[in-house]
C-alpha cells in the first residue's frame, strides 16, 4: 500500500510541476501579447494624430 501511495505522490508532483511550467509559459505569452498590443495602440495613436494634422492643414 505504501508503495502505491509513494507512486501516486510522485505522479501528482510531476503533474504539479508540469502545471506550474504551463502557467509560467502562459504568463510569458500574456506579457508578450500585452507589449504587442501597446505597440499597436501607440502606432494607431500616432497615425490618427497624423491624419488629424493633415486634415487641419487642408
Number of domains making up the chain = 1
**What residue numbers bound the domain in which 58 lies?**
1-58
C-alpha cell at 26: 502562459
Q: At 21, is the secondary structure helix, strand, or coil?
A: helix
pLDDT in tens, 4-57: 999 999 999 999 999 999 999 999 999 999 999 999 999 999 999 999 998 887
pTM of the entire predicted model: 0.73
First and final CA of the chain: distance in angstroms? 85
How far apart, in whole angstroms, are the C-alpha atoms of residue 34 and residue 42? 12
Q: What is the DSSP letter of 1?
A: -
Amino acid at each position: 500500500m505504501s508503495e502505491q501511495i509513494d507512486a501516486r505522490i510522485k505522479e501528482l508532483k510531476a503533474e504539479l510541476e508540469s502545471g506550474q511550467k504551463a502557467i509560467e509559459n502562459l504568463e510569458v505569452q500574456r506579457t508578450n501579447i500585452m507589449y504587442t498590443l501597446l505597440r499597436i495602440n501607440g502606432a494607431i495613436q500616432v497615425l490618427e494624430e497624423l491624419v488629424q494634422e493633415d486634415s487641419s492643414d487642408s
